[in-house]
Amino acid sequence: MVLVTQQDILVLPQALHSFPEATCLMEYRKSAIFYKDLKRDLLDVEFYCNSPCFIYAEQGKEKITSSEEDAIIIDAGTITFLPYGRNLHSDYVRTSGQLKAFLLFLDEDVIKDFIADHNHKTKNKTKYENKFLNVNSNTLLDQYFQSLKIFETQRFTSKGLLKSKLLEFLHLLTLSNPEVDFASLIGLQKSRSEKRNVRRLLQKPSHLKLNIADLARLSGRSLSSFNRDFRATYNMPPKQWLKKRRLSYAEKLLRRKDLTITEIAFDIGYENVSHFIKSFKDTYGMTPKQYQDFIA
């Protein structure tokens, strides 16, 4: 069963158990190691990580986008950090090559042990605050991940073994990137952000019938915050954009000819059909019925 939030957002690592392309190599509570082998397009998958996550891309390319429109490309031979609790979107297209990747999730026990050993070694290191980080792999780390493949055929449920493998990875990563303060990076356990990507959210036609207050709530923002972020994305107030988007979608529905004017009005969020007809005529210079007859 896929674990999701109320808005159908996948929660990782738990939701990976329902993906046929994902294999759980080891898992204990919120610590886990998965191997992902994707052969099909997988676009606009919204998710968040229930614990800090590192992704090692063995092959292929994947794009991750945050609710603030920050984006990072997960490319072959790189290791990417995904922070805990941020709503993210994943896009993978087969033209970039078959995607093969390891996903490592760290629970609090692993993080505490690593920080206890490294907190005193953070002087003059670059600190990062709850955001993406991408570093290149090397021979040492490549060999570490190749060694994990044995667990595809020999499954273990040892808490101690999983913890030691995750700590081994963190130590190798730190040795390979001495300038990065990984201890502070994974230790930033901020409360989960409910913010969602506004642009992606509004691509769904089913959301067009919602009012601005409902859209703000669905996006995980206050009304004022939603208006501010919306203007930053679209350079116009949400009410103006929503009207244009509704009428544009109505124009597409009118071409289908299997829906009545009333059905289309309700589908795009107009409770008053006369108001819809007037708005459409103001924009397109003819009523919805005249438009249907015109394109017939």
Gap between the Cα atoms of 203 and 191, Å rounded: 27
Which of 26-30, 32-36, 91-95, 249-253 shows the lowest mean pLDDT across its residues? 91-95
CATH architecture type of domain 10-187 = Sandwich (2.60)
pLDDT at 2 over 60: no
245-277: burial string, b at 16+ Cβ within 10 Å, e else: bbbebbbebbeeeebebeebbebbbbeebeebb
Domain-wise residue ranges, the chain: 10-187, 209-295
List, for residues 94-127, the tens digit of each pLDDT value: 776 789 999 999 998 999 888 888 765 555 555 5
Query: For residue 136, is pLDDT > 90?
Result: yes
> Rounded distance, CA 256 to CA 267, Å?
14
pLDDT at 18 over 50: yes
- Check residue 117 and give its pLDDT: 81
Please report, as a single letter, which amino acid is at residue 18. S
Give just the sign of the alpha carbon dihedral 222, 228, 231, 232. Answer: negative
The SS3 call for residue 128 is coil
Which residue would you say has higher pLDDT here, 254 or 131? Answer: 254
What is 209-295's CATH number?
Answer: 1.10.10.60
- Partners of 5 in the β-ladder: none
H or E, element range at 279: helix 273-284
Within this chain, domains 10-187 and 209-295 share the same CATH topology: no
Which stretches does DSSP call E strand in the chain?
10-12, 22-28, 31-38, 42-49, 53-59, 61-66, 71-75, 78-82, 88-92, 99-105, 133-136
Helix (H) or strand (E) holding 282: helix 273-284
